[in-house]
Amino acid sequence: MFGPYAYFIVTSYLAAALVVAVLIAWVAIDYRSQTRRLRKLEQSGVVRRSGRSATEMT
Amino acid sequence: MTLIDLANPTRFLALTARVLPWLAGATAVILLIGLYQSAMAPDDYQQGATVKIMFIHVPNAWLSMFIWGVMSMASLGTLVWRHPLADVAAKAAAPIGAAFTFLALVTGSLWGRPMWGTYWEWDARLTSVLILFLMYLGVMALWRAVEDPSRAARAAAVLTLVGAINLPIIKFSVDWWNTLHQPASVFRAGGPTLDRAFLIPLMVMALAFTLLFLTLHIAAMRNEILRRRVRALQMMQVRAYSSDVKPARREETASLSA
């Protein structure tokens, strides 16, 4: 499809797709990890000074 | 909601919950349009099909500098205005900037091999971008090395502002030195030298990657705020534990000495 340059073009786009996928996974996994840790802390009885839930977004 | 309202992390979190789905959707749609236009773009009369690498290399190269610019503004926010979200923004942007700079280097290398006959050349543009990548890693390492976030923020802010000197060096390296890398062909005094058949897909891909950065950055800032809440609650837990234990220990010591 891309003639003699197919390797360079396909590798470039695959590298971009891989890095973007890693970034999205990093953000998603980190979010789940932090909310899980916050819930655990709240379940153990530690609450914010405001008394509001630490995972509250609104 | 005014800009000053966003200084409150809870308000910022509320905003992210509303904005993130729309930003992610817009990013996906524009990226798909950009990829379609890139695939349909004609071959260049000199570079052949390798011109398709430009549609991902150039947006990543622009973002590598833009993100350091964002971090520099945030660093000013930390040092001058002590904005509560400034260091959160700077810390969250660093890994994303490192990833885009890495992609600019890799795709540039893969474009250079068929066009220049080499994957790498120690010329001014390539070397200055490599230095930018190493600076991103340095800032990330600094954040991890200092446990107290406010102390880490000040040190990282100074390093970021010093590193901003590299941005004009990268931009003008192709004018100041005789490099293998081509000079600017889009943002230049006489207007773009690119044909519309390449310019339009390039600008659409640049918009898509910029939206991708915004989406990831806001999501990473939200995670950083939650991480700081975890830290604050853990410290409260430790303080509560030590205030419970200390009187008990004192009583124990008193009974032993009696």
Count: domains in chain A: 1
Neighbours of A49 (CB within 10 A): 7
d(CA B234, CA A44): 11
Q: Do A27 and B233 touch (CB under 8 A)?
A: no
CA distance A25 to chain B (A): 10
Contact B217/A at CB under 8 A: no
Residue with tokens 């430790």: B238
Is position A1 within any domain? no
Q: Among partner residues A15, A23, A38, which is closest to B107 by beta-carbon distance?
A: A15
- Residue A53 — left, alpha, or beta (φ > 0 → left; ψ -120 to 50 → alpha)? beta
- For residue B58, the model assigns a pLDDT of 96
CA distance B48 to chain A (A): 8
Is position A25 within any domain? yes
Q: Among partner residues B103, B111, B226, which is closest to A35 by beta-carbon distance?
A: B226
β-bridge mates for residue B48, sequence order: B44
Is position A6 within any domain? no
d(CA A57, CA B17): 7
Q: Do A48 and B219 touch (CB under 8 A)?
A: no
d(CA B221, CA B219): 5
- For residue B87, the model assigns a pLDDT of 92
Yes or no: say if B102 and A10 are a contact pair by the CB < 8 Å rule.
no
Nearest CA in chain A to B230: A38
Q: Amino acid identity, residue B220? A: A
Domain of A32 in residue numbering reads as 16-40
Burial B226-258 (b: 16+ CB within 10 A, else e): bbebbeebeeeeeeeeeeeeeeeeeeeeeeeee
Per-residue pLDDT of chain B (258 residues; tens, 9 = 90+): 566 666 788 888 999 999 999 999 999 999 999 999 999 999 998 888 999 999 999 999 999 999 999 999 999 999 998 888 999 999 999 999 999 999 999 999 999 999 999 999 998 999 999 999 999 999 999 999 998 888 999 999 999 999 999 999 999 988 888 888 887 777 777 777 888 999 999 999 999 999 999 999 999 999 999 999 999 888 888 887 777 766 666 566 555 555
First to last CA, chain A: 50
Nearest CA in chain B to A41: B233
Q: Amino acid identity, residue B202? A: L
Is position A20 within any domain? yes
d(CA B106, CA B194): 23
- pTM of this structure: 0.89
Contact A43/B at CB under 8 A: no
Contact residues for B222 (Cβ-Cβ < 8 A; gap 6+): A31, B12, B13, B16, B20
- For residue A46, the model assigns a pLDDT of 73
Residues, chain B: 258
Yes or no: say if B155 and B142 are a contact pair by the CB < 8 Å rule.
yes
pLDDT band at A7 (very low <50, low <70, confident <90, very high): very high
Contact B242/A at CB under 8 A: no
β-bridge mates for residue B44, sequence order: B48
- Residue B70 — left, alpha, or beta (φ > 0 → left; ψ -120 to 50 → alpha)? alpha
Instruction: Give A23-57 pLDDT, tens digit per residue.
Output: 999 999 999 999 999 999 888 877 776 667 666 66
Q: In whole angstroms, how far apart are CA A45 and each of A41, A55, B131?
A: 7, 14, 47
Yes or no: say if B107 and B209 are a contact pair by the CB < 8 Å rule.
no
